[in-house]
């Protein structure tokens, strides 16, 4: 499923990201890498997704969140 | 030459919002200055730090997530780390986002720079049940690791000792091959994968593998990021900032102006009298130089409050939320939420707003934002609206001024849409991925030091431009153009300044403003918007008119020029003042950032647009008002 399909409070593991190479690299640098455990904290204004990875929080715009494939855990 | 024989240079590297600048301000106190990074317009703070028994130069690099740079800010950090002239990098790691910081630390080590790690926010991580094991981290990294807190000074002594020791015997990170850094994206991807694997190993050794506890930040975010609550909350914050600038700054500005034009001007005049200086010299000193200094000085409280407000919003972590909340609206202009920051700063002053565009990752986005910044109505223009609104709309002054802010926002959006459909069609918003740090209260001392450094840098740079502009105006007013007067004793209407203004003023007739004093003040306003009111006052008082207040005099002039529709003409003048041309300091900064073609082209388009709008406002307004 996609990160945009995850419900608030649920956790999932990142499987893959289907964006261009540079965008994927930046997402991985920010912590969204294959295997990372994420928890969906909030759906923000404009549909942006706020996720926790460990103690770190990230906000990802809606379109980009829709490119991130996750596996619920 | 060893690092000990000269002053060693130490870089402070870290992700944005990790408490790096707080640590920098604590370590260097007031011994710091703002410099431009070599060959760029990116500003850096550089300071002297007493580390152990000797001073070192500490350079606070712009926050970055990676040395594979995507913006000028990040490029500056990457270039500095690659420069062997720097002896050591102190990499600041946020304990609540350790993996992200470790990735950057790994890149610094790959570039071959010796490293000392400083861990901040350990208390915040502990509150979420994820306190990092500092000893475990140090043994996994093989370099000194010190827990610091830039607010309390915790760890400052230990950090100084670690840096001193690492300057003597450089410390290199275990498990990283120095100089394996490459510039191609393909090599970067391969290299990044190795680094990610290394990061996971180190992080596993230092952080407990338990899910984080929810804290106050999560609860606040559940409110502040929601559409129906987040957007009103954001507007309330912006409103509060402007209340602060108008309520607090206004008396300070008046005080500074009074100090210069009152006691200081009389002291200089009496001194020059005693010294038997010629009258023109006294006039140059008081009406030229001193009035320019007064303009700059009266503007400093406003700048200080604006810088402080932005630092507080940024340091508290709120600005990162603004980028999220504003993202969807900004995307319609081809920008992402991060472009909101420069536009907000622009409502204070356009010049620092242009510097703030450096946070945007793409050159075309920076250009588009930088061209829209002059349409955000800065506080100097507010002074003009206040005079006009109180004079022509005494009952509804507040509403009229508010409408000018609405007009400014409409202009930003309108010009943005036009630019995107014409000259900047290739601007596309990229992905927005923003770290949301825990909310924090600002630390007063670190804040004060940061604001002082920025304000004094502004006073030096923009201040000299404003003083020069005011002196040039004085010269134009001192040289007679007709009537056989002696220089400096010419009535301003017969000076070069008056005659040039009079030749321009018929162009203002379609907006009901054909008067040389109004055109003169608008021309002066190109130098700096702060001088519009001053120029108007000067034109009236030097004109030999009676003692009626500036508002009354302006009112009787506009009654005449507008053919009995003063309200419509006053609105036209406000709209024209809002957008006709940016001030000289803004133009100079735009030229430096985008080149003269973009600067001249956008200034020309703005002037034509402002003229057409002002004419339309008057022509329609006189049917109603």
Q: Write out the two tokens for B428.
A: 């596309």
pLDDT greater than 50 at residue B3: no
Q: Are B177 and B238 in contact (CB under 8 A)?
A: no
Q: Which of A10, A29, A49, A58 to mutate to test the interface with B (most CBs of B within 10 A)?
A: A29
What was the pLDDT predicted at B70?
83
Give me the residue from A23, A30, A44 closest to B226, CB to CB.
A44
Question: Rounded to an integer, what distance in angstroms lies between the CA atom of residue B417 and that of residue B167?
Answer: 53
**What mean pLDDT comes out for the span B288-295?**
78
**pLDDT tens-place string over residues B601-618:** 999 999 999 999 999 999
How many residues would you count in chain A?
Answer: 73
Q: Nearest CA to CA, how far is A2 from chain B (Å)?
A: 16
**What mean pLDDT comes out for the span B560-565?**
94
Question: Rounded to an integer, what distance in angstroms lies between the CA atom of residue B564 and that of residue B177?
Answer: 80
Report the DSSP pairing between strands A37-43 and B54-60: unpaired
Q: Are B600 and B607 in contact (CB under 8 A)?
A: no
Q: Mark yes or no for CB contact A60/B432 under 8 Å.
A: yes
% of residues, chain B, pLDDT over 70 = 95
Query: Which of B559-565's residues contact partners 24+ apart within 8 Å by CB, and which partners?
Result: B560/B515, B561/B508, B561/B509, B561/B512, B561/B513, B561/B514, B561/B515, B561/B518, B562/B512, B562/B513, B562/B618, B562/B622, B563/B512, B563/B622, B565/B512, B565/B618, B565/B621, B565/B622, B565/B625
Q: Which residues are CB-neighbours of B82 under 8 A, at least 6 positions away?
A: B67, B111, B181
Secondary structure of residue B468 in the 3-state scheme: helix
Count of domains observed in chain A: 1
Q: Are B99 and A54 in contact (CB under 8 A)?
A: yes
Residue with the larger pLDDT of the pair B599 and B210: B599
Question: Rounded to an integer, what distance in angstroms lies between the CA atom of residue B268 and that of residue B263?
Answer: 9
Beta strands in B421-489 (DSSP E): 433-435
What was the pLDDT predicted at B1?
43
Question: Which of chain A's residues have a Cβ under 8 Å away from the Cβ of B227?
Answer: 44-46
What was the pLDDT predicted at B186?
56
Size of interface A-B (CB pairs under 8 A): 132
Q: Write out the two tokens for B506.
A: 């018929």
Within 13 A of B226's CA, how many CA atoms are on the CB side?
A: 8
Rounded to two decimals, the ipTM of the complex is 0.96
Give me the residue from B68, B98, B331 closest to A25, CB to CB.
B68
CATH code, domain carrying A44: 2.30.30.90
Query: pLDDT grade, residue B253 (50/70/90)?
Result: confident
Question: Which of chain A's residues have a Cβ under 8 Å away from the Cβ of B435?
Answer: 30, 56-58
Question: Rounded to an integer, what distance in angstroms lies between the CA atom of residue B539 and that of residue B533?
Answer: 10
Q: Write out the two tokens for B481.
A: 């153009």
Find, in chain B, the residue whose alpha carbon is nearest to that of A45: B227
pLDDT greater than 70 at residue B4: no
Q: Are A39 and A52 in contact (CB under 8 A)?
A: yes
Beta bridge partners of B154: B149
Using N-to-C axis directions, what is the helix angle for B291-315 and B227-247, rounded to 10°? Answer: 150
Question: Rounded to an integer, what distance in angstroms lies between the CA atom of residue B17 and that of residue B537?
Answer: 46
Phi/psi of residue B180, nearest 5 degrees: -95, 10
Q: Are B375 and B360 in contact (CB under 8 A)?
A: no
Residue with the larger pLDDT of the pair B137 and B304: B137
Q: Nearest CA to CA, how far is B326 from chain A (Å)?
A: 8
Torsion of CA B470, B476, B479, B484, to 10 degrees: -130
Q: Nearest CA to CA, how far is A67 from chain B (Å)?
A: 10
Q: Are B330 and B343 in contact (CB under 8 A)?
A: no
**What mean pLDDT comes out for the span B80-93?**
94
Q: Are B14 and B433 in contact (CB under 8 A)?
A: no
Query: pLDDT grade, residue B548 (50/70/90)?
Result: low
Beta bridge partners of B117: B91, B145
**What mean pLDDT comes out for the span B386-394?**
90
Q: Which of A30, A56, A73 to mutate to test the interface with B (most CBs of B within 10 A)?
A: A56
Q: Nearest CA to CA, how far is A10 from chain B (Å)?
A: 12
Domain of residue A31, residue span: 3-72
Question: Rounded to an integer, what distance in angstroms lies between the CA atom of residue B585 and that of residue B41?
Answer: 14
What was the pLDDT predicted at B258?
82
Find, in chain A, the residue whose alpha carbon is nearest to that of B317: A57
Q: Write out the two tokens for A6.
A: 């995850």
Give me the residue from B185, B207, B434 closest to A22, CB to CB.
B185
Q: Are B65 and B15 in contact (CB under 8 A)?
A: yes
Question: Which of chain A's residues have a Cβ under 8 Å away from the Cβ of B329?
Answer: 46
Question: Which of chain B's residues have a Cβ under 8 Å away from the Cβ of A23?
Answer: 430-431
Residue with the larger pLDDT of the pair B570 and B170: B570
**pLDDT tens-place string over residues A8-61:** 999 999 999 998 888 899 999 999 999 899 999 999 988 999 999 988 899 999
Q: Mark yes or no for CB contact A56/B435 under 8 Å.
A: yes
Beta bridge partners of A13: A37, A71
- pTM for the model: 0.80
């Amino acid at each position: 499923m996609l990160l945009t399909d995850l419900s608030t409070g649920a956790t999932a593991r990142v499987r893959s990201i289907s964006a261009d190479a540079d965008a994927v690299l930046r997402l991985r640098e920010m912590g969204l890498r294959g295997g990372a455990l994420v928890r969906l904290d909030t759906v923000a204004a404009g549909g942006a997704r706020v996720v926790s990875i460990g103690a770190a929080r990230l906000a990802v715009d809606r379109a980009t969140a829709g490119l991130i494939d996750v596996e619920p855990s | 030459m060893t690092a000990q024989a000269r002053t060693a240079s130490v870089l402070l590297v870290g992700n944005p919002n990790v408490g790096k600048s707080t640590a920098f301000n604590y370590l260097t106190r007031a011994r710091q200055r703002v410099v431009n990074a070599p060959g760029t317009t990116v500003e850096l703070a550089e300071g002297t730090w007493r580390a152990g028994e000797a001073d070192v130069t500490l350079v606070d690099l712009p926050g970055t997530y990676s040395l594979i740079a995507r913006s000028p800010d990040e490029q500056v950090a990457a270039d500095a780390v690659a420069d062997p002239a720097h002896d050591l990098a102190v990499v600041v790691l946020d304990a609540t986002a350790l993996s992200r910081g470790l990735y950057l630390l790994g890149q610094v080590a790959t570039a071959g720079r010796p490293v000392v790690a400083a861990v901040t926010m350990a208390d915040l991580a502990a509150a979420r049940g994820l306190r990092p094991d500092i000893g475990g981290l140090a043994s996994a990294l093989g370099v000194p690791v010190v827990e610091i807190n830039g607010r309390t000074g915790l760890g400052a002594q230990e950090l100084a000792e670690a840096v001193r020791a690492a300057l003597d015997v450089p410390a290199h990170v275990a498990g990283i091959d120095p100089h394996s850094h490459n510039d191609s994206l393909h090599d970067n991807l391969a290299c990044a994968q190795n680094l990610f694997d290394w990061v996971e190993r180190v992080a596993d050794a230092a952080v407990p593998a338990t899910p984080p506890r929810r804290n106050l930040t999560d609860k606040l975010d559940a409110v502040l990021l929601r559409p129906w609550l987040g957007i009103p909350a954001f507007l309330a914050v912006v409103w509060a900032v402007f209340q602060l600038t108008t309520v607090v700054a206004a008396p300070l500005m008046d005080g500074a102006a009074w100090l210069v034009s009152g006691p200081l001007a009389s002291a200089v005049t009496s001194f020059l009298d005693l010294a038997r200086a010629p009258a023109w010299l006294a006039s140059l000193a008081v009406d030229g130089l001193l009035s320019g200094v007064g303009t700059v000085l009266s503007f400093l409280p406003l700048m200080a409050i604006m810088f402080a407000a932005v630092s507080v919003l940024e340091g508290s972590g709120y600005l990162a939320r603004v980028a999220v909340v504003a993202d969807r609206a900004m995307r319609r202009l081809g920008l992402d939420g991060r472009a909101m920051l420069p536009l907000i700063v622009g409502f204070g002053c356009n010049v620092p707003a242009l510097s703030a565009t450096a946070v945007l990752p793409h050159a075309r986005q920076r250009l588009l934002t930088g061209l829209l910044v002059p349409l955000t109505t800065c506080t100097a223009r507010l002074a003009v609206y206040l005079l006009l609104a109180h004079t022509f709309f005494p009952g509804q002054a507040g509403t009229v001024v508010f409408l000018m802010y609405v007009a400014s926002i409409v202009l930003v959006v309108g010009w943005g849409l036009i630019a995107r459909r014409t000259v900047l069609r290739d601007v596309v918003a990229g992905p927005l991925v923003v770290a949301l740090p825990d909310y924090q209260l600002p630390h007063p001392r670190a804040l004060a030091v940061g604001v002082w450094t920025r304000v004094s840098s502004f006073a030096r740079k923009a201040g000299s431009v404003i003083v020069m502009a005011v002196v040039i105006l004085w010269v134009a007013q001192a040289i007679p153009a007709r009537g056989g007067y002696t220089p400096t004793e010419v009535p301003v209407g017969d000076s070069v300044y008056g005659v040039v203004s009079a030749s321009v003023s018929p162009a203002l007739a379609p907006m009901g403003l054909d008067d040389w004093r109004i055109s003169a003040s608008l021309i002066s306003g190109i130098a700096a918007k702060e001088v519009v009111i001053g120029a108007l006052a000067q034109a009236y008082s030097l004109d030999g008119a009676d003692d009626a207040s500036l508002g009354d005099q302006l009112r009787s002039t506009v009654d005449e020029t507008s053919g009995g529709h003063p309200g419509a003409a006053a609105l036209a003048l406000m709209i024209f003042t809002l957008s006709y041309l940016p001030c000289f300091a803004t133009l100079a900064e735009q030229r430096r950032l985008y080149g003269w073609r973009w600067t001249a082209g956008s200034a020309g388009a703005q002037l034509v647009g402002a003229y057409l709008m002002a004419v339309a406002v008057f022509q329609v307004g006189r049917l109603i008002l």
